[in-house]
Chains A and B, each alone.
Chain A
Amino acid sequence: GAVVSQHPSRVICKSGTSVKIECRSLDFQATTMFWYRQFPKQSLMLMATSNEGSKATYEQGVEKDKFLINHASLTLSTLTVTSAHPEDSSFYICSATDRGWETQYFGPGTRLLVL
């Protein structure tokens, strides 16, 4: 149980294009999903928290218009990197919890490379 998937697992795009990453909870209803960014050999940096049906809460320093988050259903949240630039290249990981409980279950991550 508690499986979270992400799609795509890897994406390469040109600078200036937008990229959408999906995060799905496969066997539970995720009232809360989190989006993280991880740079090589570093820890995870929380970008935003999203509750189903509400606007996402962004961490300080994360651009809301750059990283659009939608949590339209209890099993799906999407992160759209708008007008991507090479500095947005990173490993993006989502996690999900049920009813705001403490244990977060993580997706396998999406590696984004912007050329």
Chain B
Amino acid sequence: GNSVTQMEGPVTLSEEAFLTINCTYTATGYPSLFWYVQYPGEGLQLLLKATKADDKGSNKGFEATYRKETTSFHLEKGSVQVSDSAVYFCALSANSGGSNYKLTFGKGTLLTVNP
């Protein structure tokens, strides 16, 4: 079956530090890949996505590249801010039959950015 493995946190950084959160996946076929962010007490927000190999998703200074050869979708940001503190989920989307797509999530990585 499909699975997503992301680095376990928590990750604690100082403001303006470089961020990498690793994510690898196992899937049949050609899934789409996503990063979602969850702020405390809230639902998930789509951060970025990539739908095919070598695509780069980017948003708010975050970026991730769909690497089929290494089955990875690592999240990076060059300079984090305190407001980036949240839980980050890597996910893949695969057709579950018919026209429905199910998301498979990683366990989430808690990021804390200190001023």
Binding site for B on A (CB under 8 A): 4, 6, 31-32, 34, 41-44, 46, 49, 51, 57, 93, 95, 97, 99-109, 111
Pair count A-B, CB < 8 A = 63
Binding site for A on B (CB under 8 A): 32, 34, 36, 41-46, 49, 51, 89, 93, 96, 98-103, 105-108, 110
CB of A22 to closest CB in B, whole Å: 14
CB of B61 to closest CB in A, whole Å: 21
Residues B100 and A106 in contact, CB atoms below 8 Å apart: no
Residues A108 and B43 in contact, CB atoms below 8 Å apart: yes
CB of B15 to closest CB in A, whole Å: 24
CB of A73 to closest CB in B, whole Å: 18
Contact residue among B36, B41, B99, B108 (Cβ-Cβ distance under 8 Å from A100): B99
Contacts of A100 in B (CB 8 A): 98-101
Nearest B residue to A38 via CB reads B38
Contact residue among A4, A43, A111 (Cβ-Cβ distance under 8 Å from B105): A43
Known: A49-B100, A101-B101, A107-B43. 4 other contacts (CB 8 A): A32-B99, A44-B44, A51-B100, A100-B101
